[in-house]
Amino acid sequence: MIDLDDPQQVRQLDRLGLQRVAADPHLPEQALGAAAAGDPITYAPEVAGLARLAAELSALPMPAPTTGDAPSTLTFDTHPAYTLATFLASSARMAGGPPPQLSVNRTWLHALRPETPAAANMAKQAALRLYQHVPLIWSGAPWLEGVGEEWRLRILYYAESAALAAGSEGMQRLWSMARFPNFWPNGVVVVHLAEQERPAVPGSEALAAILAARRIHRLELAAPGATRTEVAIHHLYLANWIALYLAALYQVDPADRVPLQLLGLA
Tens digits of residue pLDDT in 40-75:
788 888 999 999 999 999 888 877 776 666 678 899
- 174 backbone φψ class: left, alpha, beta (φ>0; ψ -120 to 50): alpha
Prediction pTM value: 0.93
The residue ranking higher by pLDDT, 252 or 36, is 252
Length of the chain, in residues: 266
Three-state secondary-structure class, residue 262: helix
155: Cα separation from own chain's centroid: 8
Q: Which pLDDT band, with edges at 50, 70 and 90, does 258 fall under?
A: confident
User: What percent of the chain shows pLDDT beyond 70?
Assistant: 96
- Other C-beta atoms lying within 10 Å of the C-beta of residue 36: 13
Interval 137-141 mean pLDDT: 91
**Mean pLDDT of the residues in the chain:** 90
In this prediction, residue 185 carries a pLDDT of 63
The answer on pLDDT for 184 being more than 70 is no
CB 164 within 8 Å of CB 135 = yes
Contacts of residue 29, Cβ cutoff 8 Å, sequence gap at least 6: 102
Alpha carbon distance 159, 132 (integer Å):
11
Per the DSSP assignment, residues forming a β-bridge with 137 are: 165, 191
Interval 187-201 mean pLDDT: 84
- Other C-beta atoms lying within 10 Å of the C-beta of residue 107: 9
